[in-house]
Amino acid sequence: MDRVRDLASTRAAVIFTKSSCCMCHSIKTLFYELGASPAIHELDRDASGREMEWALRGLGCNPSVPAVFIGGKYVGSAKDVLSLHLDGSLKQMLIDAKAIWF
Amino acid sequence: MPSFDPHLPISNAPGIEGSRIHAYRVSDFGPFEQSVAFRLEDAIDLSTSTVFNSAKASGQAVSFDPLHIATFDKSTTSFNINPPAAQVESQRLPLEKNQQLNLVSISSGNTENWGESNMADASPRTDISTDADTDDKNLGFDRGLSIVVAASDSSDRSKDKLDQKTLRRLAQNREAARKSRLRKKAYVQQLESSRLKLTQLEQELQRARQQGIFISSSGDQAHSMSGNGAMAFDVEYARWLEEQNRQINELRSAVNSHASDAELHIIIDGIMAHYDEIFRLKSNAAKADVFHLLSGMWKTPAERCFLWLGGFRSSELLKLLVNQLEPLTEQQLVGIGNLQQSSQQAEDALSQGMEALQQSLAETLSSGSLGSSSSSGNVANYMGQMAMAMGKLGTLEGFIRQADNLRQQTLQQMHRILTTRQSGRALLAIHDYFSRLRALSSLWLARPRE
């Protein structure tokens, strides 16, 4: 969990993924489309990947990836991110966290 | 089954130890000669197929038994054969009346219902001894049925040859034949009534299907499971459409009769809840048969034209609605515009994810040793590939779910931005649009072709 928190606070937008996960690819695409440059951490390429996954599940993220953090705070998985995007909240969060400017 | 040369003695017939059957010496059969040459293969065929269906030409049925030979031409060896372990089938073959035959048949190795190893005489006159003199005359037996006649050309046969054992055995044969006939009759009757019942059931099933009752169509479990998912969803969707039509009609008459906002609000809430219902149904269907949803076969052809990830494209819908919803306030215009753009971006993101999935799947299936290296390595590779591919296919459900989520959220967000009356008009417009697509599909399907 610590490792997750540490990594999540290194950048305004952080996404935990797995290299094989195509839904992660979708969410990454969305962030790039919005102009954000999220930090991507692939759990299957990390030594403590399994613990991190377990920690993410503990946060309520199901499936565990993609897991999105904005401004160090846990935002949710794909479904949450897309919903927030539709009502405009996602963009605002990114602006507030200074991940994007407009 | 052995095939016999009819001219050779049989020395390896089952159930007979050490004895030889001179059953097929055609030369022994005098007037029979070639016309009654008994082809053993025929007998074997006969014994294993439902000959009794074809063997109905005359009213005379004869059941004969393999390896049983009553008497022989005096030039042949006479002996008694007890059919012990030999499993035999008694066959019924039609013979002309008044023919007296002692029949020999071959064991097929299996006894079915007819299974008693006995032989019956052909004619009502079941006592051989009385027929001895008429045998020669009665052998115009040439109906294409080849039956071995064992040594019945017995002008030489005399009562002396018949001993007690033979008589008793003949009686037993008759009795067994009679029982056999009765059993056959019972069996055939059973078959007939089952067939009738089957036809009735099929008709019922047909009728029920037409009424839209969902009935599982196959006994194969795996197959019917996927069939269940698709068919069940189609039925549920049809019902859902009916209900939606009803609700929309209610809304339309409420709008046209200038009902109050409160009234409209209630109806609209019902319609929104009904939309939630279809997304719930689709979610279940995605678990059961994601490919059915993806195929769009549950939609009409024209709707399928616009299919995106198993449903409609929210962004397109909003584009269509904006014109019909005027007048909109500035804030509303911005809101709808943003919603349209957001849903477009979300749709693009999901599309890209799907493309990545396709690519990944293609790579998985085409990688590895295509023909090279050892065969065991190939098998392991293949299985590994398949396992990976299976995993990737499993993620399809997630994509459909997110796509439906997008549709649901877009509708709800639109409802929030608009006033009650505007929402009402929007829902009517959406319904009309899809209705026309469905009508177009019907017209298309019914179009005259050259």
Q: What is the ipTM of this complex?
A: 0.96
Residues of chain A positioned with their CB less than 8 A from the CB of B346: 30, 82, 85-86
Nearest CA in chain B to A77: B402
**What confidence score (pLDDT) does residue A64 get?**
93
- Structural element, H or E, at residue A16: strand A13-17
Averaged over successive runs of 10 residues, the pLDDT of chain B (450 residues) comes to 45 43 44 44 44 43 42 42 43 44 41 43 43 45 44 53 84 93 93 91 80 52 57 95 97 94 96 97 94 95 95 94 88 95 97 96 79 67 89 94 97 95 95 96 91
What lies within 8 Å, CB to CB, of B187 at 6+ separation is B113
Residue B82 Rama label (left phi>0; alpha psi -120 to 50; beta): beta
Q: Which residue in the set B339, B395, B401 is minimally distant from A86, CB to CB?
A: B339
What is the separation, in whole angstroms, between the first and last Cα of chain B? 59
Backbone angles phi, psi at B62, to 5 degrees: -125, 130
**What confidence score (pLDDT) does residue B42 get?**
46
- Structural element, H or E, at residue A68: strand A67-70
Nearest CA in chain A to B414: A87
The answer to whether B179 and B116 have CB atoms below 8 angstroms apart is: yes
Asked if the Cβ–Cβ distance from A22 to B410 is below 8 Å, we say no
3-state secondary structure of B194: helix
Which of A19, A24, A27, A29 to mutate against chain B (most B CBs within 10 Å)? Answer: A29
CB of A22 within 8 Å of any CB in chain B?
Answer: yes
User: How far is residue B83's CA from residue B417's CA, in Å, rounded to a whole number?
Assistant: 93
CA distance A79 to chain B (A): 6
The answer to whether B105 and B64 have CB atoms below 8 angstroms apart is: yes
- Structural element, H or E, at residue B244: helix B221-256
Backbone angles phi, psi at B372, to 5 degrees: -90, 180
Q: Give the pLDDT confidence of A82-101 residue by residue, as tens digits.
A: 999 999 999 999 999 999 99
CB of A59 within 8 Å of any CB in chain B?
Answer: no
Number of residues assigned to chain B: 450
The answer to whether B167 and B159 have CB atoms below 8 angstroms apart is: no
DSSP for B141-184 reads --SS---EE-S---SS--GGG--HHHHHHHHHHHHHHHHHHHHH
Residue A5, token pair as written in the block: 């928190």
Q: Which residue in the set A20, A34, A87 is minimally distant from B413, CB to CB?
A: A87
Tell me how many helices (H) and strands (E) chain B has: 11, 4
Query: Dihedral (C-alpha) B180, B186, B187, B193: value to the nearest 10 degrees?
Result: 170
pTM of the model: 0.61
Instruction: Enumerate long-range contacts of B1-9, CB under 8 Å, 24 or more apart.
Output: B1/B44, B1/B106, B1/B108, B1/B109, B2/B40, B3/B40, B3/B41, B3/B44, B4/B40, B4/B106, B6/B37, B6/B38, B6/B39, B6/B40, B6/B148
CA atoms within 13 A on the CB side of A71: 11
Residue B276, token pair as written in the block: 């939630």
| Radius of gyration of chain B measured on its C-alpha atoms | 40
Asked if the Cβ–Cβ distance from B353 to A26 is below 8 Å, we say yes
DSSP letter at B136?
A: G
Closest-CA residue to B67 (of B43, B97, B34):
B43
DSSP for B346-404 reads HHHHHHHHHHHHHHHHHHHHH-S-SS-S-HHHHHHHHHHHHHHHHHHHHTHHHHHHHHH
**What confidence score (pLDDT) does residue B217 get?**
53
Q: Indicate the burial class of B317 (C-beta count within 10 angstroms; 0-12, 13-18, 19 or more).
A: buried
Helix axes B261-295, B420-445, angle to 10 degrees: 40
DSSP for B289-334 reads HHHHHHHTTTS-HHHHHT-BTTB--HHHHHHHHHHHT-S--HHHHH
Nearest CA in chain B to A85: B342
User: How far is residue A6's CA from residue A22's CA, in Å, rounded to a whole number?
Assistant: 25
The answer to whether B155 and B135 have CB atoms below 8 angstroms apart is: yes
